[in-house]
A and B are shown apart, each in its own frame.
Chain A
């Protein structure tokens, strides 16, 4: 196969059509879909509405609810440990606040707990991989916050609510919108380098489904810039972090309140018991479950552990009958299939085009709608198929330099340029191939604006939570989410622990769960939480040649 400019010959032929039609395409104005049209394209194409992607939960507090098959599999799996495995009289760490998860939400929670009076040594962040290994580190495009005169938190609220199909929890999204400016202010205060305009204000772009341009960004490394910063601050404060020690189950006390967790040292296989007055679950997302067989943008550890542990204690989960597939996951070359190409590319003006070089969708619909449109286009045979059988449509990145001036792509999308360059593709000269990829867990453990869950002593923040984004999250709201609710979790638990006394520790809830599974005759050999995805041997190959859901 002849490779030209990084692409096989037949794909270059399609690119030639794209180049011919580029000028006309730049001026083409495709209308966004009406609400009714949105509903139609979703119903016919999005995995949330396809047969067989979801089924009813058979066990636990959310019995009868519909959730994605992969998640139900985890909830129907056996806990890794049972009460007889752990000697709860031997407590290895005794703290005020245990934070499970060392990503954005967990780190922000620790920083604000500290600011609100909890000494560093009375906290513990337990994380599965390294401190900072998380989806937070990978987020690219931006963070929404209503800080411009033309914009305001009420307008932001409207965008969030509509984007979530009017299913979000109102008090929770009120907090999300109202806390936005404060978060940006805090970031600036601790040294985050946001992109600026000439007049010294923040450069703010549009995101899918937003009615105002309020996407603050740090080139296309927004998540990394923020995560590096808060992690540095956390290290300066000597907040204790236990790496490679994921929690595998929560511990309750005899009043039914969550009182810590059992940690598993993945390297030595030691088990540690942590007793804590408040436990914050910040375990992030579940992309590595490859729900509906999609490739994913998520990091290695995104296996939904927090959902499982919370569910075992009786906490309820929301909106797991939806997944967020991001329309522009990379589709070529094979090595980067599934990896995120930021929405900012569209925000800066690049248009999605089919194999004939024609536009077919308004570039900035909310993610679920945009994804459904891409899927529809490929189903109709107007997408490309890569040598390894992956579907894709073009994203005409060279448009960006034409609109904003030469060098814009290199400057504002440095990470993207680098990624493609490593594989011989110059995205400043040629379009890139994209297709939906599993990106975000819209729902999760239900919280209120103070990050409380249904179980006393158990708090949650970040991607693991449900109710913030309803059935669909808008771009830039997840970075906002982990900051807003990480902060609230830190502030609230700092108060909460002052009045908490812990009773007798117990893991009886695991035995109860096992009995529930026995009663249902569930003979699955699976154990949960999953901790790490299985990619060895044949799985490495299967994932590389992944065919997505249509």
Chain B
């Protein structure tokens, strides 16, 4: 397993390199630059700024300089947030996104899988229809509608919870729920489908024929294989969710790194965009590896090769 993981990690290096190269040249190809603004700068001032940020060098030289920086975990200064480096911004934002996303994914996993199992076990009953209707609604109501509705009800009308901002646990409740709801919906549907399929398979029928109690059949035999599709969905989604949700972070005024994606691109904050893209890419690669490792644990048919 160790050898497999090492090989996968080595294989990630060219992927990351391609990602860096692609993002680097794409953002620079976009019209406008970090210093384009309504009032044009004096040509000397603009030249001076470009020189200070090495934007006057040929692209390949800038790329080389950037790669060397990345190897030293130096992502450069942010063009937009001038008092901070990109590394500092990511370091400050990631714990917030991680807490928010981690809690939301955990909640989604617990509630989604439980609901999915209930629906599968009570197939075609009121409970099943109830869960699936809620799930359909959860999937079809987007975050940017659900989040303000939650704020309106729990913060503005009832005054139970804060409407936004960083603070204690109470500040996290609404954003976590808003972020988890669509995932709960999706996971419950996924679990239900896969559980129904597993329950119809031969080995479960054998278990039933042997007279094993239902609880044991579900937890010991059915749950693990039923979770396979959930795991393959969960990995990349978890990476997306913990690197920050632009919508949720904006609506709840949370200082995660999700907001840097959009702000960075719109401001042509080259270094910030690059930093966030690399960070996000590395996380996705790591999560995909974890998913593959989890697969082998859940499914004895899978072997590392």
- Do the two chains bind? no
Residue numbers of A with Cβ under 8 A of B are none
Question: Which residues from chain B sit less than 8 Å from chain A, CB to CB?
Answer: none
